Amino acid sequence: EVKLVESGGALVQSGGSLRLSCIVSGFTLSSYEMSWVRQSPGKGLEWIAYINSGGETTFYADSVKGRFTVSRDNARRSLYLQMNSLRVEDTAVYYCARVGFAVAGTFDLWGQGTLVPVSS
């Protein structure tokens, strides 16, 4: 079965750090670009990070630049999001998402998400 499974979400205090993981199955991770997208409670979708297939190129939304780092380990079939200096406004469900192979830029596969509440 083709799927993404996120983990690592937990309640964290403002200023704290957390590392999210996303393990993939059913496809070869090294063939795909990946992203993280988040959704604040009751709100819309916000793209926050991108990493190319080899891990050499990353991009970030301004809202997380300098605080979050995306990385990957293709051998372990895993994607990561290191989140530092967390703020209350980072409270959200965090999804890992596969960038479409045929149509780069679309997100054709999503995990179920992991919740990160940030308390003040």
Partner 1 sequence: EILMTQSPGTLSVSPGERATLSCRASQSISINLAWYQQKPGQPPRLLIYRASTRATGVPARFSGSGSGTDFTLSINGLQSEDFAVYYCQQYSNWPPYTFGQGTKVEIK
Taking CB under 8 A as the criterion, the residue among 16, 55, 100, 117 binding partner 1 is: 100
DSSP state of 67: T
Taking CB under 8 A as the criterion, the residue among 8, 23, 27, 61 binding partner 1 is: 61
Per residue, the 3-state secondary structure of 101-114, as one string, reads CCCECEEEEECCCE
Position 108 contacts partner 1 (CB under 8 A): yes
CB of 20 to partner 1, least distance (A): 15
φ/ψ region of 15 (left if φ > 0, alpha if ψ in -120 to 50, else beta) reads left
Which residues of this protein are in contact with partner 1, per CB under 8 A? 35, 44-47, 50, 59-62, 95, 100, 103-108, 110-113
